[in-house]
Structure 1
Amino acid sequence: MFSRAEYDRRIALARDAIASSGADLLLADSGELLAWLTGYTVSETMYRAAFLPRDGEGWFCLRALDEAPCREQSWITDVVGFADTEEAQAAVAASILGHGFGKARIGFDTNSYCMSSATFMRLQALLPDATFVPMQGVGDSLRWLKSREEIAVLAQASQIADKAMAEIARQVTPGMTTRDAAAIASGVFLREGADTGEVGPVVKAAGSHEFLHGVFKTEAIGEGDTLHVELIPRVANYGARLMRPIVVGRPPDELAVTAERLVALQDLQIAAMKPGARACDVDAIMRQGALNAGLRPVYENVTAYTLGLYTRTPRTSDFSGVFLPTSDWSLEQNMVFHLYATAQGLGFSETVVVGSNGGIRLTKSPRAIL
């Protein structure tokens, strides 16, 4: 999906981070960093890692069963495979020794969900002459600013979300179930080129905002019901996100008014998403606006979070950059966020990239109850 020039850009960014940390070698083991840096990622059935020296060629160490797809999808040609009968950490350590880095300063992301305390202690024991250099959050921070190629893929995923949302709104009728609605979206995903048919939450909305993380189950849809639909299609592991309320029948006037007020506040947020804007100030537009308008009694959740590359990870959302009252950091051009607002049984969200003059919506669905 990406050019060699794009990977050269990523390699240069990673090497800058390595140099800044004082390390000689970067150990990459989280699914997202592997995909971003090498073009290939695989779940951690057994420990595996890729390595990028500050100078010299990178290499990959993983199960022999995964060698062929790694060679096919990655720019890395030096792929070291180990048998399932071997200890994975020992094989990874042996590859470091074999490449002459047994006494090196090895940079690693202390936030990586693959670097368990057991794995870290085992690698230390196997590499007694190496020095491990913490590079906290490097797997996320390297990916915060998106390239033109990455934004193009996110735009493709956004188009799939828009098509799927429109199809649910067109087809859903009383007597169908939430599972039927999800199946409509899943079919669109697969036909339009998404990585999988995984849809996201499709639930009957109720209350204020509690439905947001509702458990998917088979519920009958009746006249007047509001469906909360969140779509999360991925293309080349890059995920767009889109939320809309879909009412079966004509939306009540009071819901339509609430929707207009939520969307108006969110539009102000999007317009404020310029380079240099503080995340907490952009957050306050929605948070304080919704509270002041009486749309919610409390507003405790984030109003946006980082969006981009997702793989098989323990986390379903990337909260390395979020909009909260405490988020005292500045937006930069080409950051991408999932911006969302919920109140009174309604939820609206967009995939938004920070542009030079404000946020740009990659998702284009109508900004109203469907």
Structure 2
Amino acid sequence: MAGNRQAFSTEEFRVRVRRVHAEMERQDIDLLLIHAPENIYYLTGYQTSGYFAYQVALVARGRDPELLVRFLERGNVNEYSWLDRAETWREGDNLIESTLRCAQSLGSHKTVGLEKQSWFLTAAMSEALSAGFAGARVVDGSRVVPQVRLIKSEAEIRYLRRASEIAEIEQRAALAAMRDGVLETQVAAAVFNVGVKAGCEYTGLPHHVMSGYRYDIGHANWLPKPIVRGELTLLELYGCVERYHATQMRTISVGPVSDEVRRAADIVIEAQDAALAAMRPGASAREIDALVRRPVRKIKPEYYNRTGYSTGIGFPPRTAEWDVLDFNEQEDWVIKEGMVFHMLAFACGFGISETVAVTPSGIERLTHSNQRELCVVT
């Protein structure tokens, strides 16, 4: 049975389930309880903005996933999921008992995996579930599904291309709205207007519009603050299609900029250009990071931020998979074909970013239309 608005074919979902089964076997997990909404969506297609209420997908090796969701949300199973049924709970039910009953219906299991790192499995619930699986070994299965999600299918990349197009449309709307005295709120309104018209869903994070001194306030959101001549505005804007997120960061100046800012912009752009040119299957993530970090630190010695991360499915407060793959100077891992990243760099008031997909020979810039230079509005 296909959902009314199923984002992927049933066969694609089955392929994902088989890959998760293989990863479970590799980690010696017989039953996996999934509480992260991104992972539930990836395997079942089920989604709701009501994920603040308890929901879980139970995956036993060799079987289709089983869903347990709030009774009020059951319509979202028919709307989005390839699964033809789901167990439900109602207000007043004991959620631990309901979950354990679902697990028991799937047979006995020697090793049970819980997503102990998920924000949606509280410590109390984790302890109660662990106690309920008497006789089983309970392990942390937080990385099982995220590891599988890292390599995107062509269907996933198509959604990411569309999300990238939307992020670029939003950036162009922000540029068109920019003038001396315009409010950050007015710029944000222009972004939301074109984004929703272009098909943008609700995003995992709100758009970031940061002007003047607010550039250095991490992940700041729009305020009724005038953007005045001589100020830089950093915009980090998101496109979201079928929960897949793409991001683009650009910087706009109202009026002329100083030589210092021009020089910083040139250094940041050249550094990221070098990193993007070096990205290909087999490349070292730490070496890619260094291509950005080394030159940028010449103008911003305290540059500790990541320079990129894996992106894909997101529900608030996530737009990406930064907790799984992150470009930084401590960790190292190998880039693979099919991975998709948001790559970023910024210093001295100027920031830039792109969403890219790894191809057999390099990368495809999914955000490819907008100019990378500092935009100046006279």
* Candidates 153, 164, 173, aligned match of 2:170: 164
Helix, strand or coil: the match of 2:280?
Answer: coil
Q: What is residue 371 of structure 2 aligned with on the other side?
A: 366
Q: How many Å apart are 1:126 and its aligned residue?
A: 2.9
Residue 25 (structure 1) aligned with residue 31 (structure 2): yes
Q: CA separation in 2, counterparts of 1:272 and 1:232?
A: 25
**Which of the numbers 33, 50, 62 marks the counterpart of 2:57?**
50
How many aligned positions are there? 366
1:279-298 equivalence runs, <5 A? 279-291=285-297, 294-298=298-302
Deviation at 1:101, TM superposition (A): 2.6
Per the alignment, residue 272 of structure 1 pairs with 278
Asked if structure 1 preserves the Cα contact closer than 8 Å seen for 2:57 and 2:66, the reply is yes
- Are positions 1:80 and 2:90 aligned together? no
Residue 92 in structure 1 maps to residue 99 in structure 2: yes
Question: For the Cα contact (< 8 Å) 1:303–1:340, is it kept in 2?
Answer: yes
TM-fit CA distance, 1:39 = 0.5
Q: Which runs of 5+ in 1 are unaligned?
A: none
Q: Measure the CA separation in 1 of the matches of 2:88 and 2:117.
A: 26
- In the superposition, the TM-score normalised over structure 1's length comes to 0.92
Equivalence for 2:255? 249
1:113 is aligned to: 119
The one-letter code sitting in structure 1 at the alignment partner of 2:358 is: V
**Offset at 1:328?**
1.7
The code of the aligned residue for 2:55 comes to: R
Number of the residue aligned with 1:351: 355
User: Where do 1:110-259 residues align within 5 Å?
Assistant: 110-196=116-202, 199-206=206-213, 210-259=216-265
Q: Residues of 2 paired with 1:46 and 1:88: CA distance?
A: 11
How does the TM-score come out when normalised to structure 2?
0.91
**Cα offset, 1:251, TM superposition:** 3.7
Distance of 2:160 and 2:230 partners within structure 1: 34
Contact 2:312 2:320 in 1 (8 A): no
DSSP-derived class of the 1:285 partner: helix
Deviation track 1:151-198 (CA, whole Å, cap 9, x = no partner) reads 110110110011111111122212210111011101111100011276
Q: Which amino acid aligns with 2:71?
A: A
Secondary structure, counterpart of 1:62 in structure 2: strand
The 3 A distance-change label for structure 1 pair 100 and 12 is closer
- Offset of residue 204 of structure 1: 0.7
Residue type at the aligned position of 1:324:
N
Percentage of pairs with the same residue: 27
Taking only aligned residues, the RMSD between alpha carbons, in angstroms, comes to 2.1
Match of 2:266 among 260, 265, 269: 260
The corresponding residue for 1:318 is 322
Shift of 1:85: 1.7
Counterpart of 1:343, as a letter, is: A
Q: Per the alignment, in what secondary structure is the counterpart of residue 342 of structure 1?
A: strand
In the alignment, is the contact (CA less than 8 A) between 2:313 and 2:319 conserved in 1?
no
1:252-311 superposed Cα distances (whole Å, 9 cap, x missing partner): 4443332222111101100111111111100000101212xx321221111111111101
Q: Deviations over 1:306-347 (max 9, x none)?
A: 111101347876232111111221111111111111111011
